[in-house]
Structure 1
Amino acid sequence: MSTEDNKRFDFMSVLPYFIGITISFLIALYLRTIPKAGVFLSNGFVRFGGNDPWYHLRNVESILNNFPHMIWFDAYTQYPNGTHQVFAPLFDMVLATVIWIIGLGSPTLDQIYTICAYYPTILGSLVVVPTYFTAKWLFDRRVGLLSALLIAIAPGQFFSRSILGFNDHHIAEALLTTVIAMFLIMALKTAGEHEIKFESIKNKKFVYLKPVLFYFILAGIALGAYSLSWIGAVFFSFVIGVYITVQHIIDHMHGKSTDYLAIGGMVMFSIALIMVLLTPYIGSTKPLAIKGLLAGIVAFPALTFISIELKRRNLKAYYYPATIAVLFIGGVTIAKLVSPSLYALVTSVFSFFMRTGGGLTIAEASPLLSVGGQFSLAPFWGNFTTLGYISLLAIVFLGYEAFKKNNTPERTFLLVWTLMIIWAMLQQNRFAYYYSVNAAILSAYVGIKVLELAGWKDLLEDIKFKDKFDIKNIKIWHVVSVLVIILAFMYPSYNMSMQQSQYTGGPNGYWIEATMWLNSNTPDPGLDYYESYEVPAEGESYQYPDTAYGVMSWWDYGHWIEVIGHRIPNANPFQQGIGGRRNSIEEENKPGASTFFTAQSEEEATEVLEAVHPDPEKAGARYIVSDVEMATGKFYAMSAWTLDTADYYIPVQTDMGTQTVPGPRYFNSMESRLHIFDARGLKQYRMVHESPVGNSAETGYKNIYNALFEGNIALENTGYVKIFEYVEGAQIVGEAPEGEDVTISVTILTNIGRTFVYSQSAVSDGTYSFTVPYSTQGPIEGETQFDTMPVGPYKIIYGNVVEDIDVSERDVLDGNVIEV
């Protein structure tokens, strides 16, 4: 056979797999771009999914306005503190650079938003490539091709975090860890074909070292890129460290050299360390990343040195794991005695991702097999469908095979990698998007075994060597096995992904309307949204202009308020500004969103608001934004962050048995006073706008209040999102006979045409005084352009006396006294 025939043969053997990978990529891309209408809205608004994608948009816009500089400190969130950059920089820097190049240095907003929306779909679709090569190098091309197809249609968090508009770093994590695994596996395979020893380096014999080093270098670059893409990236360094330790033990027990592990580990971690050191800032975890990488650089050769020494002394093989265990225990003991902080760091590794208290209310941080705090397999099925269970079978089989035989280093890595991801996933369900790759590879391995058992391997070999196809050779088992792959391996995942593709998440129309209203109708806080803010000196706080103010809402909505509303939230999805407690009910209940919304009186809420700001003359927020979810389903989360959840909900006996319903403590909360009762009777809080009405549980809560507490509030759904303003309040004072009941009231007309009565009552001691928050004369220039206001003057009533009182906006804002 000629050289040309060989090339043609090689090309033809590769072509089907190339076509298969391309098809897998296109399928992945198609599924992820289905929800275009839910992202690119008819009014021109681009709706990004979830919460954090909005902050990535914030970063990208800032970089492009100050190219190529990253925003290392953001004064436009967590008022009055601001915050250092929380995200690792690479994800946003790469995206911004791509946009800058496409936009020829001056991209339009349309280009920015469109490319940002499509970015995760491209990254998610690209995962099929390293998945294919990882599986191919672990098993063979057939497993690689099926793996690529399975990951292309994988549902759950892997799909939702790579869908159109979900512009978050999570999918970059999944892509880069798969690339790391791909190059590391190839390095391990190549090392098995070459003798890699320290002695060769010492004698300058690099002939065997060069091909292996190439893959270790690429794995190191990928590990460095991963370390610059997520602040918790020390996790995968830990995975690699555990694997190298395990492989050291296995190789030593079998009398093999471990030099390749030490050399490869040092190369990978050194390259990643250099990349980390060259980066100015990586969230708050750069020191941890440096320590983790340095630990590996020191530990890997130490493990090999111990192995060499034990062999030189002809000690029994089991002394090696015993020595490592003794050194580890001794090191932990010394750390406990000498450095409590180092001891805490080491021991925290075993529960690194576990959350408690309010942290458990973060959707992505809750354990995988838990729904509402109860054990459930539903999340496991929702993330992996049948592949989750099939992959577990593969783990058992490969583990048994490894026990019975001397497993290859790359398959040992697969097992360690998989088990470590499961460990992390059981603590935080977010790691389900990591495990999707493992599930695809392991399930593909089982799938190819099924096809082999059905006789497909022999059939294809006959076709290959006889160079012809006879349909008569297709047997019933061939057909059945293909149906099994389609119906059991593929269809459940594809069906689940198709269901997920119908929803995009992100702010609903009510929140979009409300935050855009904030943008247009509230005073400019006096900061340039696109400014590259100066990082405060160590121990100092950012100096805001006097015109700056905060917007208090639940942390879920902070990025929407900042990026859509261009206003400064007090709390944000970085879990900053929440306040409350973290570990014990004995702790101080720190001021923040949780303590404000659960406060049991207006006075208590105002104290919280004012305690948020370090200046006693200023309040931490001027506006409060509430939605109906905060008033109903999310209220428990707010109380959970204070670690004080008792008695907000009480059991009552009904015709349907005992039911848990909102109780007095709930209805006394500031959140209820604002959203359920429209701030009726509050002295310093007024509604200034509400979004259109949305369906919710609001009327049910109001019905409970009327039935159990003799209320008479209208059973109606009101604005889904409501915006309130905290003001000084005008003081209305007058005289009335002692002991007389005095009432002040006014009808409020909201911007959606709804009315309610605002009123206060007091008993005169010869005089009376009311502090009221509404202006009867409308907004003034430079202040809130409210569209919810009284329909006429206040009415003061006592005995037979009725007096009308007009209140100006200046009176309300300055706390002026109005004498009647």
Structure 2
Amino acid sequence: MSIDYHEKLKSSILPFTGILLFFLLALYIRTVPAESVFISENFVRFGGNDPWYHLRNVESILHNFPSMLWFDAYTQYPHGTDQVFAPLFDMVLATLIWIIGFGDPSTELTQTICAYYPSFLGSLVVIPTYFVGKWAFNDRRIGLLAAFLIALAPGQFLSRAIIGFNDHHIAEALLSTVVAMFLIAGLRRSESSDFTLSHLRENGFSQIRPILPYFLLTGFFLGAYTLAWKGALFFSFIIGVYITAQHIIDHMHGRSTEYLAIGGMAIFIVALVMVLLTPAIGGTKDLQIKGLLAGFVAFPILSIISYYMREKQLNRYYYPLSIAVLFGAGILLARVVSESAYALVTSVFSYFMRTGGGLTIAEASPLLMRGGQFSLQPLWYNFALTGILSFFALLILAYIAIYRRNNREQTFLIVWSVMIIWAMLQQNRFAYYYSVNAAILSAYLGIKVLDLAGWKDIRSPFAQATSSISDWLKQIKPVHALALVLVVLVLAYPSYDLSTQQNQGTGGPNGYWIEATQWMKYNTPDPGLDYYESYEQPPEGELYPYPDEAYGVMSWWDYGHWIEVIGHRIPNANPFQQGIGGRRNSMDEENRPGASTFFTAPSEAEATAVLEAVHPDPEKAGARYVVSDVAMATGKFYAMAAWTLDTDNYYVQAQTARGTQTVPGERYFNTMEARLHIFDGNGLEQYRMVHETPAANTAETGFKQVYNVLFGGNLEMVNTGYVKIFEYVDGATITGQAPAGEKVTITNTIRTTTGRTFEYSRSTTATNGTYEFVVPYSTEGPMTGQTQFDTAPTGSYKVSFGNTTESVRVSESAVLNGGEIEV
């Protein structure tokens, strides 16, 4: 039978044109906020947190091309960290930039390509979405409508592909959809090339040869997906669940299952080889190997059991029962033989569940929860009507699968969708996966509605029986046009409306954080470590050999990548949830030193003990600088407490003019975070403010009002610096003589970066005729090679008792080295 290539090309014009237009539409929507990314000639603002670390990886690869940054000493001081991300996303991006830049790309070129890259990948998703929709239902109309809907998709699918959000998430969505596309293509062809063991004996692989390339391509892209995300065993698990379900369905209908064993083994062996060839996958390589090996072994076992049961003509219902028994026996065997294997199996059922502080991670919280309360609003935010309609479509497909004979492709679509829903309900991050499923399922429902309106009787303008588009147009009646407009409007307009609302900004560090981290880069001592170095991983159990001048920067983990990549300083905690400290499962655990324990510490002494415990060397502290922002002092403080599992009494009920309200209580105002940010570090011995950014209109004044009203304070009711940088110093000791029992006070007026002033003061009682103060501020200005602070005293310290007042000058050397000044 000859192929009419002219007709084939003619019939491809419409879908090709549609896909191209949808790609351009998606790209346009995702690049609308370009001005908020390219904020100056010298600075590109990437969104969120992790995109900054991807920039870190890309820059490191380009400086050491083609070596990956397998160990990073420039974060999680004093430990450093193994590469947390799977390598493919950054390696492909860096290689692309290296080629375009002829081996020496500029910083501007690097950051520009990084900024546009997620938008390009997100727009590419329209292509596999089209083919999945087309091949799953043998209807290119469903494919085209699905491609159109995914181009408009709002919510996390949009935000993960917005310009400047250079993260691996959108690569996950693209690659997993390509995996589904090739798997569905293989399943389609397996329908007409039924394969059995007898065929294998008689004809070798000739019968499976037409479908094997699709399974091999599925394996290749599953391998690429695995190398792009360290949690990719999730999609391997989906394929495993589908192959198991399809084994049962085929066996119950008396069909051979051998094609599933051959196909599944081909998929998993290709992915396994790719994993084995990769040095590391974000700490999950062993897990990926075990999972892929388990599938590779299990698939032929499932087919062999089915084959012999058919040969022996055993009751078909014994087959699913035998699989259940086999699965249960496997779990018991794993528990006896291998704890790691048992943990792998049992962890599947809670793979994405988080507890304690982990629930404060935005992308890891359950989808239908907002502020701890059940809500359907996230469903609308992420999918508009396609989310709701997709559930109806899923029910229809499930009905067809149970009561009629559906095809293998649709069975996979059902399993795929259900598994994504299961994951999404546990962690909302999987909403960007389900956007693809929602688009395909909603498109299926939309075309069904059009067919009910008579569209199924209209022949395509590119079919041989239709000579021209004008002939095709003559077939369309008003009811057809009305149905088309209604379906497109119902499905597409809400998504488009949400997308145009949600694509106005990119997030990322605001101007205050950009200013603060850049100030730190140029006004604090160099930590003695080359930012672009290819660091050598230390032997297991040993610390990285940091130079003596190295130090950490303590801040909340959200900001770690900004401190590292913009400020070129080494954070103690980072968005990999490293360096947070606290507890994970029970109050009985040790409250480990880290960011959560430091900022919730109830006194300066306890906070300092945490800071020094961060570093294993008792002669060194874990950090030299502490960076706080107003969000840490207000909205994010509860997250800090949640990571310690001790959240009681930070907030109390108080009667106000607006009724009973929850307000910060005494325990909150005693924390180190409140002492630093709300009180400006007033009265602290070893922490001094060295820089603050301009203020913003925030909740700070509300917190100060509560303190003044409930605790008799006299804080000035103004917003202060949005970001404040403090330095941890030895402090200068001021000693003098005063009558025993006399109250002695030391004061100074501190002028900050912004020109505002606040009073630094402490009081003590003279003992045995002497008094002593440890103070953190120098009155003599910065020293070369040390912090070039721009927040400092306006004059001398004033020490007063009775009718006596003394002026004291304090050098920077005394502050840094613990010097003593005698009055």
If the TM-score is normalised by the length of the shorter chain, which range does it land in?
Answer: over 0.9
- Kindly state the Cα deviation for residue 100 of structure 1 after the two structures are TM-superposed: 0.4
Does the CA contact (< 8 Å) of 2:72 and 2:535 recur in 1? yes
- Structure 2 CA distance for aligned equivalents of residues 292 and 628 of structure 1: 44
Helix, strand or coil at the partner of 1:745: strand
- Structure 1 CA distance for aligned equivalents of residues 338 and 721 of structure 2: 55
2:615 to 613, 616, 621: 613
- Structure 1 CA distance for aligned equivalents of residues 50 and 36 of structure 2: 18
Identity %: 67
- Kindly state the Cα deviation for residue 197 of structure 1 after the two structures are TM-superposed: 2.9
- Structure 2 CA distance for aligned equivalents of residues 213 and 173 of structure 1: 24
- Structure 1 CA distance for aligned equivalents of residues 15 and 128 of structure 2: 13
Question: Which residue of structure 1 lines up, in the alignment, with residue 709 of structure 2?
Answer: 707
Q: Which amino acid aligns with 2:612?
A: E
Does the CA contact (< 8 Å) of 1:384 and 1:493 recur in 2? yes
Question: Which residue of structure 1 lines up, in the alignment, with residue 289 of structure 2?
Answer: 290
Does the CA contact (< 8 Å) of 2:458 and 2:472 recur in 1? no
- Kindly state the Cα deviation for residue 344 of structure 1 after the two structures are TM-superposed: 2.8
Helix, strand or coil at the partner of 2:32: coil
Question: Which residue of structure 1 lines up, in the alignment, with residue 10 of structure 2?
Answer: 12
1:541 partnered with 2:543: yes
1:500 partnered with 2:502: yes
1:327 partnered with 2:326: yes
- Structure 1 CA distance for aligned equivalents of residues 730 and 219 of structure 2: 59
Question: Which residue of structure 2 lines up, in the alignment, with residue 161 of structure 1?
Answer: 160
Does the CA contact (< 8 Å) of 2:69 and 2:83 recur in 1? yes
Does the CA contact (< 8 Å) of 2:42 and 2:108 recur in 1? no
- Structure 2 CA distance for aligned equivalents of residues 177 and 543 of structure 1: 40
Query: Which residues of 2 match residues 243-642 of structure 1 at below 5 A?
Result: 243-460=242-459, 465=465, 467=467, 468-469=470-471, 474-642=476-644
Q: Which amino acid aligns with 2:212?
A: L
Does the CA contact (< 8 Å) of 1:666 and 1:672 recur in 2? yes
TM-score by length of 2: 0.98
1:676 to 675, 678, 681: 678
- Kindly state the Cα deviation for residue 469 of structure 1 after the two structures are TM-superposed: 3.9
Name which of structure 1's ranges 194-203 and 213-222 shifts more when overlaid on structure 2.
194-203
- Structure 2 CA distance for aligned equivalents of residues 682 and 463 of structure 1: 79
Question: Which residue of structure 1 lines up, in the alignment, with residue 45 of structure 2?
Answer: 47
1:796 partnered with 2:799: yes
Question: Which residue of structure 2 lines up, in the alignment, with residue 132 of structure 1?
Answer: 130
- Kindly state the Cα deviation for residue 455 of structure 1 after the two structures are TM-superposed: 1.5
Helix, strand or coil at the partner of 1:211: coil
Q: 1:463 to 1:517 in 2, by over 3 A?
A: closer
- Structure 1 CA distance for aligned equivalents of residues 756 and 481 of structure 2: 65
- Kindly state the Cα deviation for residue 62 of structure 1 after the two structures are TM-superposed: 0.3
Does the CA contact (< 8 Å) of 1:594 and 1:639 recur in 2? yes
Q: Which amino acid aligns with 1:100?
A: W
- Kindly state the Cα deviation for residue 630 of structure 1 after the two structures are TM-superposed: 0.3
Does the CA contact (< 8 Å) of 1:463 and 1:469 recur in 2? no
Question: Which residue of structure 1 lines up, in the alignment, with residue 98 of structure 2?
Answer: 100
- Kindly state the Cα deviation for residue 341 of structure 1 after the two structures are TM-superposed: 3.8
- Structure 2 CA distance for aligned equivalents of residues 651 and 732 of structure 1: 42
1:76 to 74, 77, 95: 74
- Structure 2 CA distance for aligned equivalents of residues 387 and 689 of structure 1: 49
Question: Which residue of structure 2 lines up, in the alignment, with residue 38 of structure 1?
Answer: 36
Uncovered stretches (5+) of structure 1, i.e. residues with no partner: none
1:809 to 807, 812, 819: 812
Q: For the aligned residues, what is the CA RMSD?
A: 1.4
Q: Which amino acid aligns with 2:594?
A: G
Question: Which residue of structure 1 lines up, in the alignment, with residue 111 of structure 2?
Answer: 113
Partner deviation per Cα, 1:605-663 (whole Å, 9 max, x = no partner): 00000000000011000000000000000000000000000000000122322110000
Helix, strand or coil at the partner of 1:807: coil
Name which of structure 1's ranges 485-494 and 268-277 shifts more when overlaid on structure 2.
485-494
- Structure 1 CA distance for aligned equivalents of residues 234 and 87 of structure 2: 17
Helix, strand or coil at the partner of 1:41: strand
Partner deviation per Cα, 1:9-68 (whole Å, 9 max, x = no partner): 322221011100000000000011101100000353100000000000000000000000
Does the CA contact (< 8 Å) of 1:597 and 1:671 recur in 2? yes
Does the CA contact (< 8 Å) of 2:47 and 2:509 recur in 1? yes
Does the CA contact (< 8 Å) of 1:649 and 1:663 recur in 2? yes
Partner deviation per Cα, 1:461-493 (whole Å, 9 max, x = no partner): 599645444877644422331232232100111
- Structure 2 CA distance for aligned equivalents of residues 265 and 492 of structure 1: 39
- Kindly state the Cα deviation for residue 362 of structure 1 after the two structures are TM-superposed: 0.1
Does the CA contact (< 8 Å) of 1:554 and 1:572 recur in 2? yes
Q: Which amino acid aligns with 1:322?
A: L
- Kindly state the Cα deviation for residue 331 of structure 1 after the two structures are TM-superposed: 2.0
- Kindly state the Cα deviation for residue 338 of structure 1 after the two structures are TM-superposed: 4.0
- Kindly state the Cα deviation for residue 543 of structure 1 after the two structures are TM-superposed: 1.1
Does the CA contact (< 8 Å) of 2:459 and 2:472 recur in 1? no
Question: Which residue of structure 1 lines up, in the alignment, with residue 696 of structure 2?
Answer: 694
- Structure 1 CA distance for aligned equivalents of residues 67 and 200 of structure 2: 41
Question: Which residue of structure 2 lines up, in the alignment, with residue 214 of structure 1?
Answer: 213
- Structure 2 CA distance for aligned equivalents of residues 591 and 462 of structure 1: 69
- Kindly state the Cα deviation for residue 408 of structure 1 after the two structures are TM-superposed: 1.1
Helix, strand or coil at the partner of 2:758: strand
- Structure 2 CA distance for aligned equivalents of residues 461 and 803 of structure 1: 96
- Structure 2 CA distance for aligned equivalents of residues 717 and 155 of structure 1: 35
Q: Which amino acid aligns with 1:255?
A: G
- Kindly state the Cα deviation for residue 278 of structure 1 after the two structures are TM-superposed: 0.3
- Structure 2 CA distance for aligned equivalents of residues 27 and 462 of structure 1: 24
Q: Which amino acid aligns with 2:437?
A: N
- Structure 1 CA distance for aligned equivalents of residues 218 and 184 of structure 2: 9
Q: Which amino acid aligns with 2:820?
A: V
1:148 partnered with 2:147: yes
- Kindly state the Cα deviation for residue 267 of structure 1 after the two structures are TM-superposed: 0.5
Partner deviation per Cα, 1:742-794 (whole Å, 9 max, x = no partner): 10000000010010000100111210000000000000000000000000000
Helix, strand or coil at the partner of 1:210: coil
Does the CA contact (< 8 Å) of 2:156 and 2:431 recur in 1? yes
Name which of structure 1's ranges 647-656 and 284-293 shifts more when overlaid on structure 2.
647-656
- Kindly state the Cα deviation for residue 312 of structure 1 after the two structures are TM-superposed: 2.0
- Structure 2 CA distance for aligned equivalents of residues 425 and 122 of structure 1: 24
- Structure 2 CA distance for aligned equivalents of residues 276 and 473 of structure 1: 54
Does the CA contact (< 8 Å) of 1:367 and 1:425 recur in 2? yes
- Kindly state the Cα deviation for residue 452 of structure 1 after the two structures are TM-superposed: 1.2
Q: Which amino acid aligns with 1:722?
A: K
- Structure 2 CA distance for aligned equivalents of residues 568 and 637 of structure 1: 22
- Structure 2 CA distance for aligned equivalents of residues 88 and 752 of structure 1: 43
1:180 partnered with 2:173: no
Uncovered stretches (5+) of structure 2, i.e. residues with no partner: none
Name which of structure 1's ranges 355-364 and 312-321 shifts more when overlaid on structure 2.
312-321
- Structure 2 CA distance for aligned equivalents of residues 336 and 285 of structure 1: 21
- Kindly state the Cα deviation for residue 450 of structure 1 after the two structures are TM-superposed: 1.3
Question: Which residue of structure 2 lines up, in the alignment, with residue 122 of structure 1?
Answer: 120
In the alignment of these two chains, the number of paired residues is 818
- Structure 1 CA distance for aligned equivalents of residues 385 and 351 of structure 2: 29
- Structure 2 CA distance for aligned equivalents of residues 411 and 774 of structure 1: 70
